[in-house]
Amino acid sequence: FDSASSRDQFLVQVRAQKIIAARSEKDYTDTQLAVLMTEKYFPQVDKINIYGATGGRLDHLLANIFLVLGPEFEHLATKVRLFDCQNSVSFYLPGEYQLLKEAQMTYLAFIPLTAVKDLSLFNTKYRLAKAKFNRPISLASNEFMEEKAHFAFSEGVVCVIQSRD
């Protein structure tokens, strides 16, 4: 919270059960450190929800989206979720998944963050069958056709975003 206002820093100090301070000059971003500390102090958690990590500076947004690609974070990929008032962002490793449509969300995006093999999209407006992507790409503006959608892939890391206007 080194870039937060004094008021916001005070609010965090009053409400937080534990505060871990880090130097401004460091090898990890604040978000990366927060994820590492969450894993260290709360290894039993199955979700790491991060709020407000998508607004403001674009370099921070990209750092937060690419966080799960680091070797020390990849095993946490399916636990990490980013939220703001218009979006929820989840990360997936190879496998088959069912997505539940979140309340008030309209759009669904699938973003291969790495090379991805056999990406299939089911129960979505725009479907895919075992598509291969050699580089990151945003498959934006898809939509749920029902309250659930399914997708699968055999290799890589995929980011899924549910969003609304």
Query: What confidence tens digit (pLDDT) does each residue in 138-150 have?
Result: 999 999 999 999 9
- The pLDDT confidence band at residue 17, using thresholds 50, 70 and 90, is confident
In this predicted structure, what is the pLDDT of residue 2?
Answer: 65
User: How many angstroms separate the CA atoms of 135 and 75, rounded?
Assistant: 21
Tell me the pLDDT tens digit for each residue of 96-132: 999 999 999 999 999 999 999 999 999 999 999 999 9
Domain 86-165 has CATH 3.40.50.300: no
CB 100 within 8 A of CB 157: no
Q: Is the pLDDT of residue 4 over 80?
A: no
* pLDDT (0 to 100) of residue 143: 95
Predicted model pTM:
0.88
Most confident among 34-38, 74-78, 130-134 (mean pLDDT): 130-134
Tokens at residue 138, please? Answer: 């945003």
Q: Where are the domains of the chain?
A: 21-82, 86-165
Is 35 in contact with 45 (CB distance < 8 Å)? no
**Pure H helices in 16-95:** 30-41, 58-66
